[in-house]
Homo-oligomer: A and B are copies of this chain.
Amino acid sequence: MELRGGIRPGGRSARVQASVHAAVGRLLARETRASITIPMIAAEAGVTPSTIYRRWGELQELLSDVAVERFRADTPPADTGSGRGDLEAWAEQYVEEMGSAPGLAMIRDIIAAQSGSGNATRCCTITRAQIEEIGARASARGERFPDTDAVIDGVVGPIMYRILFWESPDAEYGRGLVARLYAGEAG
């Protein structure tokens, strides 16, 4: 999918992409992940399979694209009154969403896409933007707030590793990481 940038909004390409993405969404709610096929999506979206094959190449790529969209659709970080509180709340929610069965499936789809169409990077960018939003609010209040990289390394990375390679942690785990991060920063 290197043509993403070249799609004019409102054109036929955009309409097809939208209806295909929507079709995938509906199917993901209705069918098993493994049972979904490109012809099935094509039928649901009202396009011919070859259109999908030509635009996305393989199922994984399409699923990956749809997954990033869902990743993006998160609500903005809550404002609890302090940077640390915001980060704790955000980490809890992150653990919960990404660690859930649908969240995990989403992440798998994003990572599994062969041509690594930059979808994983896109997720990281979205995550960073959310952290920076919290950080900006904290700065506006005159608080010290850890660097985005430090939050990624101290909170996001460990959470994602547990989810992918061990078992989904609980909200407490997220709070603990934030606590350790603040302990380290302070020293």
Contact = CB atoms under 8 A, between A and B. Distances in A.
Contacts of A34: 58, 114
A81 to B, nearest CB: 26
Contacts of A33: 114
Contact of A157 (B121, B124, B157): B157
Interface string A149-168: 00011101111111011110
Nearest to A150: B180
A111 interface: yes
Contact of A161 (B112, B161, B180): B161
A187 interface: yes
A183 interface: yes
A152 B160 contact: no
A28 interface: no
A22 interface: no
Using C-beta atoms within 8 Å of the partner chain, give the interface range for chain A: 20 to 34
A36 B82 CA distance: 52
A157 B161 CA distance: 5
A55 interface: no
Nearest to A58: B34
Interface string A35-50: 0000000000000000
B165 A153 contact: no
Contacts of A60: 112
A23 interface: no
Interface of A: 33-34, 58, 60, 108, 111-112, 114, 120-121, 123-124, 152-154, 156-162, 164-167, 177, 180, 183-184, 187
